[in-house]
Amino acid sequence: MPDLPSLDSFEITAAELDALLKENPEAVRLIDCREDDEFGICKIEGAELLPLSSFAEKGGPALLKDESKPVVIYCHHGMRSLNATMWLKQRGRKDVWSLAGGIDWWSQDIDPEVPRY
């Protein structure tokens, strides 16, 4: 199985995530921290929506409690997901990474069927 990035790292590349998901689609918990309207435009297969606008109240605490799988968070370009990743790491979650470049880079580098906006 492909390796996850170091626990000290904050990001995972699209290529690293793609390799993980191809090997085992259940390898990580994939979280989309964009808003509902963005999620309606496009998403990475298997992702669950936990918008950053309500992350600290709703999604984040649940991710702190459930450590059954490593977590990869993505957004449009990677900034919101990096904020969510830092929020979790500051609260003790180690196995969490932000998708570098977000779904935009995913669309460009991995799956051109995912619409860009």
Confidence (pLDDT) at 19:
96
Which domains does the chain possess? Answer: 12-109 (3.40.250.10)
Contact 97, 88 (CB under 8 A): no
Confidence (pLDDT) at 1:
64
**DSSP code at position 55:** I
Distances in Å between the alpha carbon of 31 and those of 19, 55, 59, 80?
Answer: 17, 11, 9, 12
Low-confidence ranges of the chain (pLDDT < 50): none
**DSSP code at position 31:** E
Q: pLDDT tens digit string along 6-21?
A: 999 999 999 999 999 9
The two tokens of residue 114 are 């995912």
Contact 6, 68 (CB under 8 A): no
